[in-house]
Amino acid sequence: MLDLEAHARAVALNRSRPEALGVVHLIWAPLGPEPVRAFLRSYRAHRPGIAHELAIVLNGAPGEAPEASSHGAGALTRKDLAAELQGIEHRLIVLEQPVLDLAAYGLAARMLSHPRLCFLNSYSVILADDWLATLARALDHPHTGLVGASASWESQSRWIRGRARYWPYQLIRLRGARRDYPRFPNPHIRTTGFMIERAVAIAMNLDAARDKRATYLLESGRRSITRQILERDLRAVVTGRDGRVYGVKDWAASRTYRSGEQENLLVADRRTEDWANASPRLRRRLSRDAWGEHYVGAGGVELADAGGIDAEGV
């Protein structure tokens, strides 16, 4: 009981201090200004519900060439970004050498001092008020080590029928994939939007993920971020606009990622947008990739229960 009371007191104190929570938004400069503008529009439109510091991480920015224009096509420069960020309180971190997303998160974690960090990628768009407070409350729960805005059971080791022209490629890579990735179901928090303690993120050496293979393995491989959390006897959970905390076995019914109409989603990204804009047939296929037959269909029809998934997701 005393431990829980001490935890509650620490939580209450941290929620009032901006320096206790950092929001790390990664900007991949070659994408140009549009993803930045989409994120900033959503950041301005939806109150976070909790004190924090916004840290903008500029990754892959070119030199300040005279011909660079904030109105033209091409990579975002530091000058362009400064113009977009006018009026928004933030800390800017510029990575001199371009790296992939998880490595950028790891480098940012080492540069910042906030005990708790929320990471958002270049395509993140906030969808609801109190989005940050909702994520923070979920992480406040005792024995919780990782909170995601979305998650999946998908595995790269699974044969996905898809189009026939891709079958030879799948056959070539399947043996290696089954060595590197757990079989379906392979629960993992999607790293496009998640919250974690800074010390835990640093311990995972995210900045060592310097190529795509290492990045994919950290997201959903046998030593994924999620599995490392579970190995610490901590929970990996999803939360949504309803404020509920969903354990691994309930992710498919959370209506966040490729489930229901994704109406419970706090933070959208490129994959959730692709699903939202897909045909009903493609939606069903993508939902089965993520959840097998356990997802909630349109109209709230639950296609199967998740009784075969244990609480730890392993």
> 11-54: per-residue pLDDT in tens?
554 555 768 999 999 999 999 999 999 999 999 999 999 999 99
Distance of CA 244 to the CA centre of its chain: 18
| Confidence check: pLDDT of 310 > 60 | no
**Residue 209 vs residue 17, higher pLDDT:** 209
d(CA 3, CA 186) in angstroms, rounded, equals 32
Can you tell me the mean pLDDT for 147-172?
Answer: 74
Residue 28: the pLDDT is 97
| Confidence check: pLDDT of 313 > 60 | no
Q: What is the residue-wise DSSP string for 200-211?
A: HHHHTTGGG--S
Residues 161-206 have pLDDT tens digits of 555 565 565 656 666 677 889 999 999 999 999 999 999 999 999 9
Report domain extents, the chain: 2-300
H-type alpha helices, the chain: 2-14, 34-45, 78-84, 101-111, 131-140, 167-180, 198-203, 212-220, 225-231, 270-276, 280-291
State yes or no: cis peptide before 66, omega within 30 of 0.
no
Fold of 2-300: Spore Coat Polysaccharide Biosynthesis Protein SpsA; Chain A (3.90.550)
| Confidence check: pLDDT of 80 > 80 | yes
pLDDT band at 106 (very low <50, low <70, confident <90, very high): very high
The amino acid at residue 219 is: E
d(CA 186, CA 221) in angstroms, rounded, equals 8
User: Which among 44, 38, 34, 76 is positioned nearest to 57, based on CA atoms?
Assistant: 76
